[in-house]
């Protein structure tokens, strides 16, 4: 059985959440579907190097027994996206699915985020792909509504599939964060994650400098969750403002999982750095680069006040969230972990049906 996986692991991607999704789903399918050959569609260079056993298998749509869209927030438009961004988004995510529709290849869509879906570049292909899909699970109620409004009826509302993944067992120890723990045993750790956003970099730097004056018990850690060509320059601009920060380089997603489980508080502009930290019971505050999808998660876990839009917040808002929540861990309700398991179960049923 040849299984092709597709998601946000193409076009140069090395993004933390997307790569973990791909790895965990690929390993799950290979484990439960005896003899299955699993391949990531259009893998980025990072994915090809990091997941060599799931690339270059020679599976095309015409030779696939199934296409599985892996989790991600790409069944909808980005924040303030224009025509060009929508066109790029279309080319990145939908041609593989449309070829599967035309070739009558069974499709499963697992744990995706959907909406807003206003542009015809999104409405037509999403409706076509979803109408052909035998299984669709979405990670929040807003995604469920977005697809139902397109006339897609076979949608199951689950929760973010990452909650159903055993990331503790997959952790790879990060030497630098563990050395810092040993060197500063009495310090708490604040992980600051501004990624590629210059807005977040400047805002977070200003807020963190103020926060550290009020909370000298914290050590500041910072790092990216993907690979950037100009990472050193981006980081240096931040370090010019927060010179005491300790930098963790991004090389392996499961080492970043270790960083998150070692830290006490996380300030981020991205979704899945915050989700994984919350899974480990850490305090998380977020000024979201993609507020539409990120706010959904914080609302669902009953922690909506920990999240603001990066585009309407300021350094005082970030400082206020840090002051209020830095020592208050997140506890994700048990029923959301159970909800996340729905996607695994429905994926397994789908694989059985085509086996």
Surface-to-core class of residue 287, CB atoms within 10 Å of its CB (0-12 exposed, 13-18 middle, 19+ buried): buried
| Predicted local distance difference test score (pLDDT) of residue 252 | 95
Mean predicted confidence (pLDDT) in 314-319: 97
pLDDT reading at 152 higher than 70 = yes
The position carrying tokens 């159903």 is 164
Give per-residue pLDDT as tens, 8-64.
999 999 999 999 999 999 999 999 998 899 999 999 999 999 999 999 999 999 899
Structure tokens at 324: 């209020």
Between CA 353 and CA 342 the distance in angstroms is 17
How far apart (Å, rounded) are the C-alpha atoms in residues 18 and 73?
A: 9
Three-class DSSP labels, 82-136:
CHHHHHHHHHHHCHHHHHHHHCCCCEEEEEEEECCCCCHHHHHHHHHHHHHCCEE
Say if residue 243's pLDDT is above 70.
yes
* Total-model pTM: 0.95
CB-CB contact of 221 with 191 (8 Å): yes
Q: Which of 141, 129, 138, 128 is CA-nearest to residue 67?
A: 129
Write the pLDDT tens digit of every residue in 74-125: 998 876 677 888 899 999 999 999 999 999 999 999 999 999 998 889 999 9
């Amino acid at each position: 059985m040849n299984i092709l996986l597709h998601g946000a692991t193409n076009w140069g991607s090395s993004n933390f959440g997307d790569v973990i999704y791909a790895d965990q789903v690929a390993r799950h399918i290979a484990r439960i579907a005896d003899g299955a050959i699993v391949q990531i569609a259009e893998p980025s260079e990072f994915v090809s190097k990091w997941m060599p056993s799931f690339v270059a298998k020679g599976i095309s749509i015409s030779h696939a027994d199934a296409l599985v869209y892996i989790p991600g927030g790409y069944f909808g438009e980005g924040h303030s996206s224009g025509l060009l961004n929508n066109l790029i988004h279309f080319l990145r995510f939908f041609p593989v699915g449309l070829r599967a529709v035309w070739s009558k290849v069974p499709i499963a869509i697992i744990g995706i985020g959907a909406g807003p879906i206003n542009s015809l570049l999104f409405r037509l292909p999403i409706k076509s792909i979803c109408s052909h899909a035998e299984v669709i699970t979405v990670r929040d109620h807003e995604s469920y509504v977005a697809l139902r409004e397109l006339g897609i009826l076979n949608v199951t509302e689950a929760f973010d599939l990452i909650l159903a993944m055993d990331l503790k067992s997959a952790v790879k120890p990060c030497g630098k964060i563990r050395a810092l723990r040993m060197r500063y045993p009495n310090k708490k750790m604040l992980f600051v994650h501004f990624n590629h956003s210059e807005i977040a970099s400047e805002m977070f730097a200003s807020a963190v400098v103020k926060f550290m004056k009020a909370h000298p018990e914290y050590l500041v850690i910072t790092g990216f969750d993907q690979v950037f060509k100009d990472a050193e320059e981006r980081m240096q601009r931040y370090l010019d403002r927060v010179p005491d920060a300790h930098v963790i380089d991004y090389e392996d997603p499961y080492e970043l999982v270790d960083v998150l489980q070692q830290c006490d508080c996380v300030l981020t502009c991205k979704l899945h750095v915050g989700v994984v930290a919350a899974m480990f019971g850490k305090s998380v505050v977020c000024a979201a680069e993609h507020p539409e999808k990120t706010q959904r998660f914080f609302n669902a876990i009953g922690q909506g006040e920990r999240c603001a839009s990066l585009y309407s917040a300021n350094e005082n808002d970030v400082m206020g969230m840090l002051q209020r929540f830095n020592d208050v861990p997140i506890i994700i309700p048990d029923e959301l972990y159970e909800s996340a398991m729905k996607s695994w179960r429905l994926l397994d049923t789908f694989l059985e049906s085509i086996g």
